[in-house]
Structure 1
Amino acid sequence: MNDALQGKLKKLHFSGIIKTADMRIEQAIREKLSYQEFLEILINDELLNRANKGNHRRLQKAKFPQHKTIEEFNFSYQPSINRQTIYQLSTCEFIRKKENIAFIGPPGTGKTHLAIAIGVKAVTQGYNVLFVTMNDMLEDLYMSRADNSFQQRLRKYAQPDLLIVDELGLRKLNQTSVDDFYEVIAKRYEQRSTIITSNKTFEEWGKILFDPVLATAILDRFVHHCNFIVINGDSYRMREREGFTAHTNKREKLGKLVTSENTADDTVDDDIGSID
């Protein structure tokens, strides 16, 4: 491809075609493609490139703390989770229906993993996603009142197609925090989808939300179109720690055994030496 043509493609922002043009020209000659077939291949390259760039951009904006997938999740360790339900949710049909998801269970049972994994699926389907912990979101909204940017920050949490709020229940909320949380939920109600993870049972949510009236208003809106996933299982992190501790103890015992055998050998050598 000559420089003049490449310059024109750059002006049109056809970076996908620029990347593959030389290869496609060789392919067209080799396979004797028609003009239409050649043009279709170039357009498909451009569309694929734009889709990949869009996914990368949306992944960055989502602010996921880690990249998790459904395929990585160990369903055998959490038998209380219905695998088919999770795969159904990962189709993101719930986002099209403006529904919510609540992952409820003890710490370390995979709630955040599943929330992120579904969020990643949503990104690949073209949805805008934002991940945030409950504490960080409420602190951000609280600080925004100082510089009169509250409405702008509120839009940040109200506009994404999917908002993932992690760790509801780690701290009790005060009146201002509950007010702000209500604003977020009210703005998103029947307009956008929200995923909340919590280590508290749903019956305990009202106690966390401080103000009984606002608690009722928040829960009523969130639960109206909600898929509840309750996880009754052990912590992955505790299991890994126990496995690490057991492995360490085993190595220590083996080390002591080897040391003891070496000491015994040295004693025998000393005895033999004394006989000589």
Structure 2
Amino acid sequence: MSSLIKDLKTLKLSGVAKTFEIRNEQAIKEKLSYLEFFELLIEDEMSNRKDNSYKKRTAKAKFPSIKTLEEYDFNFQPKLNRQEIYNLATGEYIRKKENIVFVGPPGTGKTHLSISLGIKALQQGYKVLFTSISEMMETLFEAKADNSYHRKLKYYLAPDLLILDELGFKQLSDNIVDLFYEIISKRYETGSVIITSNKSFDDWGSIFHDRILATAILDRIVHHCHLILIKGDSFRMKEQKQKIEKH
């Protein structure tokens, strides 16, 4: 038996190797046919590979933390359309190469929602990458200097879903606005983007310095876009008040 398990692992059938002994016992006790026994082993292998794929894609997604949709407090943001968010969680927007933009004050759960939709996308088999705008821009700018730009550009273009957090927290300097435009233009109608921002569309010109470039960026983002406005109070302020009240 041990040599058989070793051979299964050599053949990279680790899912079968993990469950072979217990499935063998099951087959004997339940008098399963060879075909039924084989079908169980194949199911175990498929399940194991799916689980491993999810774990690998989750690690590559680079989420700062794990935030699920079920954990989001919609009661604290009553003006937010819960049904619309759950419709987006189906991943239909990714299949259609559409975008999502969350706009609202700091602390209202924009990042939480973007991560939770990213997790739902992973569960559906998509590749996802999360990054802050400033981190991505810094990475691309530095890549220009060490000749790794095209490799880094591919890194941000490859995922089915790219989540860009915190647009508007910092102004983008003149020498990197073009880099942001390149990401958006190359992903246009080829891959979905989720953007979180504390600035309304009207204020995006001040983020990019150049209103003409801002218009070009905005045009490509909003062409196939779900705009989610969050006008509620800050979750962080709520938690802080609760801590103060306890003392």
TM-score, scaled relative to structure 2: 0.98
1:183-219 Cα offsets, whole Å, 9 max, x none, are 1001100000000000111211122111122111111
Superposed, which structure 2 residues align to 1:137-152 within 5 Å? 137-152=136-151
Q: Which runs of 5+ in 2 are unaligned?
A: none
Residue equivalent to 1:221: 220
Residue equivalent to 2:8: 9
Q: CA RMSD in A?
A: 0.8
1:241-265 Cα offsets, whole Å, 9 max, x none, are 01111111xxxxxxxxxxxxxxxxx
Superposed, which structure 2 residues align to 1:126-275 within 5 Å? 126-248=125-247
Give, in whole Å, the separation in 2 of the partners of 1:173 and 1:115.
22
1:225-256 Cα offsets, whole Å, 9 max, x none, are 000000010000001101111111xxxxxxxx
Superposed, which structure 2 residues align to 1:83-122 within 5 Å? 83-122=82-121
Give percent identity, aligned residues only.
55
Deviation at 1:6, TM superposition (A): 1.5
Matched AA of 2:210: D
SS in 1 for 2:75: helix
Give the length in aligned residue pairs.
247
Give, in whole Å, the separation in 1 of the partners of 2:53 and 2:64.
19
> Is it true that 1:33 corresponds to 2:32 in the alignment?
yes
Deviation at 1:146, TM superposition (A): 1.1
SS in 1 for 2:227: strand
TM-score, scaled relative to structure 1: 0.88
1:52-77 Cα offsets, whole Å, 9 max, x none, are 00000000000000111111111000
Matched AA of 1:7: K
Matched AA of 2:47: L
SS in 2 for 1:67: coil
1:33-61 Cα offsets, whole Å, 9 max, x none, are 11111111100000000000000000000
Greater Cα radius of gyration, structure 1 or 2: 1
Give, in whole Å, the separation in 1 of the partners of 2:153 and 2:211.
23
Matched AA of 1:98: K
Give, in whole Å, the separation in 2 of the partners of 1:110 and 1:56.
25
Structure 1 moving runs of 4+ over 3 Å: none
Matched AA of 2:31: K
Greater relative contact order structure (CA < 8 Å, 6+ sep): 2
Q: Which runs of 5+ in 1 are unaligned?
A: 249-276
Give, in whole Å, the separation in 2 of the partners of 1:109 and 1:14.
46
